[in-house]
Amino acid sequence: MKTNKHHLFTFLIFCLLLISCENKNQLTFESLKFTNDSCADCPRISIDIPNALDNSKIDAAINTAIKEELISLLNFDEEIEVSTIVEAITSFNNGYFDLKKMFPDENVEWETEINGEVTYENKDIISIQLHSYMFTGGAHGYNSVRFLNFDKKKGNELENWELFKDSGHFMKFAEIKFRIQEKIPQDDPINNTGFMFENEAFYLPENIGFTKEGLQLRYNQYEVASYADGPIVLILPYNEVKNYLSVKIKP
């Protein structure tokens, strides 16, 4: 009986040490939220993004990249320099009020919702996904996803081409997988089933990110297909792409 208890105690200690090691590889975040709730006449705004807390180089890179993405989405006056999220929200509000002045009879309520989350993290890299919905008039709003990838050791954001040992080699592999998923014969033109790749040539999407399920290649609406087709998402298991990657991923 003592032996069984000893084995159980040893196992529990091992589990605690394992969890502790995993936690050491993870950055610390808080939820940072912004709304327009205090402004009755303003457009509806709901923002919930991760904010890195550890005051390191990688934390600064993450927070800066997220801030810049939000400014890009919300700033409606390119002639005015915007440097904070609050200023970007003010710009979004002003864009709405300017439109109301120009077209006072139009009853169009602007809105935006932006949510961010960590989709993958190990000791070397971290991926953050920003999902945004924006409606500023017209027949429908626009949904988009932006992946931000970071090298935790170097403390900087990674460009898509930096994710691969040879991006051209990987693109050939991705095209084969894309054609299989979308049922496009390998020898047919890439737009044969209705896609809209420029110059009839396959290319990687603007957004590539690491997730628990695998490497996600995401073409947002309008990128290679019509709005009605929605986003086109290809998820490649890590055991299939690990040899193409320049970063270490545990399948």
Specify whether the CB–CB gap between 212 and 120 falls below 8 A: yes
DSSP-derived secondary structure letter, 26: S
Q: What pLDDT does residue 3 have? A: 56
Helical pair 57-74 and 85-102, crossing angle rounded to 10 deg: 0
Cite the residue boundaries of each domain of the chain with CATH code 3.30.565.40: 28-158
All residues at 6 or more sequence positions from 180 whose CB lies less than 8 Å from its CB, including other chains: none
> Which residues of the chain fall short of a pLDDT of 70?
1-24, 251
Q: What pLDDT does residue 248 have? A: 85
Q: What pLDDT does residue 12 have? A: 47
The pTM score is: 0.87
* H or E segment and range at residue 175: helix 167-182
Specify whether the CB–CB gap between 148 and 62 falls below 8 A: yes
Q: What pLDDT does residue 65 have? A: 98
Q: What pLDDT does residue 26 have? A: 92
Closest among 236, 243, 237 to 217, alpha carbons compared: 236
For residues 146 and 133, give the distance between their C-alpha atoms in angstroms, rounded to a whole number: 12
Q: What pLDDT does residue 68 have? A: 97
Q: What pLDDT does residue 83 have? A: 94
Q: What pLDDT does residue 55 have? A: 87
The matching CATH number, chosen from 3.90.640.20, 3.40.50.1820, 3.40.50.11890, 3.30.420.40, for 161-241 is: 3.90.640.20
Q: Which two tokens stand for residue 75?
A: 């700033």
- Superfamily per CATH, domain 28-158: Fervidobacterium nodosum Rt17-B1 like (3.30.565.40)
Q: What pLDDT does residue 6 have? A: 53
Amino acid letter, residue 161: W
Cite the residue boundaries of each domain of the chain with CATH code 3.90.640.20: 161-241
